[in-house]
Structure 1
Amino acid sequence: MINVTKLFKLRRRGCLTHAKARINRLAVILLTLFVGATSVFAQATTDATDSSNAAADAQEESRLLTGIRQLTFEGKRAGEGYFSRDGQMMVFQSERDAANPFYQIYLMDFATGDIERISPGIGKTTCAWIHPDGNEVLFASTQDDPQAKDKQAAELKEREQGTQRRYAWDYDEYYDLYRYDRKQKTYTNVTNTRGYDAEGSWSPNGKLIAFASNRAAYAKPLSETMRQRLEMDPSYFIDLYSMDADGGNIRQLTDMPGYDGGPFFSPDGTRICWRRFSEDGARAEIMSMALDGSDVRTLTKLGAMSWAPYYHPSGQYLIFTTNVHGFANFELYLIDALGQHEPVRVTFTDGFDGLPVFNPDGKQLSWTSNRTPGKNSQIFLAEWNHQHALELLGLAGNANERPAATVAALDSLRASQPDCSPQDILRHVDYLCRPELRGRR
């Protein structure tokens, strides 16, 4: 006999259980919809914020840069482009040769759009410069290294295995400076000395070459401590030199612990700008000096990694690269030629913007940037607002009138930057090992 009362209780319990289950499922659905909606809203908010920030950054950049466009597209990466004296050509370095994983030197003709490789395709190359007469090109190369092809093969094998090495040969002792004759298609080694000889540039009249070298470390006995340091960090011993265009009359211009590099002549040929790393390699500042190494001036005091300085053709100011806004964010800045005013920010795009250079008439700026869709470094070009640059630097009119926002921003950055820790140095080293920083660092 069926117990009706018990059955009713069981049915009621089942209905309640079913109702609770439905409520629980509904709650889960509502919660899921709420979380999803929240995520979508948060993403939409983030996207809107990013879009707003990008628009604001573009607006900031348009103060000095307009018509920004990409110049190079081919290859894994390209960078460090320099104009010929007449502005009709650009020499640059690029990884685009399937048989050689390292940079090679290329020459671009703006009139025809033609690009030709002018380095031999063997070894590593970097830091090219076109002679004022337009016929010769100066660049650093390891093409005479007996193991050049073996090193290429080893690097290619590493990359095939997906374990690309950290550019361990940055300061290869086989680097020498070569002059390439475009008409004769010949190469002349103008240094031919053991040690890293690179980062060369001709003076405006073509009679002198300024370059960076650690040759002295290989030419004299070193203590065991210094020998180990040379093995671990060859850049510590790099100083600046000058020589006649044919390689004679070599003069050492700097003799300080730490890396001095990236020298360029001023437009009038009376001074040389460069960047000097601190002895521990944690910071670098922009410097200038007379041709004989005297009258040394420190132009920046940002306490960051500031490097790759280059004079505007007017000689009134320089443009350089700095990571004052963070280890992984290199931006372009201006500083007046005497270093008397606060630096002025030029680019406002997160990532890498560096190795800037003006064209001969000072109306355009070219630089290396990873603002590409794939985040690979390529060369960019933009129109340059020289007059506004003078105004921002306080060089047009009253030199004491400085943009308050720039001063306040830099003061805030300095106040928020503690003394460099060992971890900071490691982060600097790791970042500097990245491929986009190869060249005049």
Structure 2
Amino acid sequence: MRNRLNISTKLIRGLFTRAFTSALVALPLSFANAGTADFITEDFVLSDTEKEKRVGEAYYRADQQWMVYQAEVADENPFYQIYLKHLDSGNIRRVSPGVGKTTCSWIHPSVNKVLFSSTHDDPDAKSKMTAELERRKSGERKSYAWDYDEHYDIYETDLEGNNIKNLTNVLGYDAEASWSPDGRHIAFASNRRAYTEELSEAEAELFKKDPSSMIDIYIMDADGSNVKRLTHTNVYDGGPFFSPDGKRIVWRRFSPNGREAEVYTMNIDGTDQKQITHLKALSWAPFYHPSNEYIIFSTNIHGHRNFELYIVDVNGEKEPVRVTDEAGFDGLPVFTPDGDYLTWTSDRVPTKKGHLFHGKWNHAQAMRSLSLERTD
């Protein structure tokens, strides 16, 4: 089990708001407790809305001393970079190189290392940054679409952003990585087989239309060795996270048309793949509660652009229960390692850009709502 540090509501609120007081005051109080009172209380904006243009995907080290996340900050780079925040001092530092695109960070449970995906070794990284800046200056608008850049590789670095090491170094999209609770393994998503293996004619045509179709879940040792493919489909399997006991992986699997996704779990060797949700909507970003009793995820079952947070028991035997109720995007939820708080990404700010929200989590209510109360 992970080391757990119990932090009081008063203390953790003080830690997170120390560096963000001005940003919090600037936001209307109507953003707090918006339909989340049963599960989330004392919620507030965790991002620095004056400096960070877009923020998302925050994750915690097991001792709850560090938080890693991605943010768009610098004017000279229009893409996300990876930042590390010390929760006691409030100090923030960038740990990615600052060039190219980055995504999907994680922090080692015990060793001073950060994991993230980046395209900074792409020879055209800087020219792509310039092109994106020019596109934005021109006022061109385009629908949001995730970029499965074949130059994404998975890197580790120390907490200062030094000693960066490429763990994958294979052409293809390698991203969405996380360490196991004991730090011995890394689960990740990759479409490398489209670049390294011979595809059938049908697969090649499918990949040309949709690069995500060849993305599968993989597992490897923490040093990048012993890579093993765990899923074998021609749809997008991605977003893997380990269960608190390190025995299973949760992820989301898209439908062939890309308009639906469901939450799945499996053993870390790829066996016992089990569908957990059956909502026939876009359900994704699943994450285990540290109790290992239930999984939180985001779904647009209430409307194409309205993503809300839901919880479901780990076996998928209960009906999923709604957690948030706010128009717009609520997604990428993560619990603190002690299970007492929830951090998630939401666009419920005036700019309608993604920012981090944080609140006290009601575990007892979650257990009751799913009829998982213990009687022994």
CA–CA separation in structure 2 for the residues paired with 1:395 and 1:265: 21
TM-score using structure 1 length:
0.75
The worse-fitting range, judged by mean Cα deviation, of 84-93 and 311-320 is 84-93
- 1:131 is displaced (CA, Å) by 0.5
- 1:295 is displaced (CA, Å) by 0.5
1:71 aligns to 2:46 (yes or no)? yes
Corresponding residue of 2:213: 236
Match of residue 368, structure 2, among 387, 391, 402: 391
1:325 aligns to 2:302 (yes or no)? yes
The two structures, once aligned, show a CA RMSD in angstroms of 1.7
- 1:97 is displaced (CA, Å) by 1.0
Which residues in structure 2 correspond to 1:36-55 (within 5 Å)? none
Which residues in structure 2 correspond to 1:140-289 (within 5 Å)? 140-166=117-143, 170-182=147-159, 185-223=162-200, 225-289=202-266
Which residues in structure 2 correspond to 1:357-376 (within 5 Å)? 357-376=334-353
CA–CA separation in structure 1 for the residues paired with 2:327 and 2:90: 30
CA–CA separation in structure 1 for the residues paired with 2:343 and 2:283: 18
CA–CA separation in structure 2 for the residues paired with 1:381 and 1:167: 25
Instruction: Quickly say closer, same or farther: Cα 1:264–1:184, change in 2 above 3 A.
Output: closer
Letter in 2 for 1:203: S
Instruction: Quickly say closer, same or farther: Cα 1:164–1:233, change in 2 above 3 A.
Output: same
Corresponding residue of 1:138: 115
Letter in 2 for 1:344: V
CA–CA separation in structure 1 for the residues paired with 2:201 and 2:78: 34
Instruction: Quickly say closer, same or farther: Cα 1:228–1:163, change in 2 above 3 A.
Output: farther
- 2:283, 2:298 within 8 Å by CA — same for their partners in 1? yes
Partner of 1:217, secondary structure, is helix
1:84 aligns to 2:80 (yes or no)? no
Instruction: Quickly say closer, same or farther: Cα 1:238–1:59, change in 2 above 3 A.
Output: closer
Corresponding residue of 2:36: 61
CA–CA separation in structure 2 for the residues paired with 1:161 and 1:174: 26
For structure 2, list consecutive stretches of 5 or more residues without a partner in the other structure. 1-29
1:311 aligns to 2:325 (yes or no)? no
Corresponding residue of 1:425: none
Corresponding residue of 1:344: 321
CA–CA separation in structure 2 for the residues paired with 1:60 and 1:392: 16
Letter in 2 for 1:387: A
CA–CA separation in structure 2 for the residues paired with 1:328 and 1:299: 23
- 1:108 is displaced (CA, Å) by 1.1
Letter in 2 for 1:61: T
| Higher normalized strand content (fraction of residues) | 2
Q: Point out the structure with max Rg over C-alpha.
A: 1
CA–CA separation in structure 2 for the residues paired with 1:88 and 1:237: 37
- 2:34, 2:324 within 8 Å by CA — same for their partners in 1? no
Corresponding residue of 2:97: 120
- 1:134 is displaced (CA, Å) by 4.5
- 1:257 is displaced (CA, Å) by 1.6
Corresponding residue of 1:102: 79
Q: Where do 4+ consecutive residues of structure 1 move more than 4 Å?
A: 57-60, 164-169
- 1:236 is displaced (CA, Å) by 0.8
Partner of 1:295, secondary structure, is coil
CA–CA separation in structure 2 for the residues paired with 1:122 and 1:58: 37
Instruction: Quickly say closer, same or farther: Cα 1:286–1:169, change in 2 above 3 A.
Output: closer
Between the two proteins, the alignment pairs up a number of residues equal to: 344
- 1:135, 1:183 within 8 Å by CA — same for their partners in 2? no
Q: Which has the higher contact order (CA 8 A, sep 6+)?
A: 2
- 1:186 is displaced (CA, Å) by 1.3
- 1:225 is displaced (CA, Å) by 4.8
- 1:286, 1:309 within 8 Å by CA — same for their partners in 2? yes
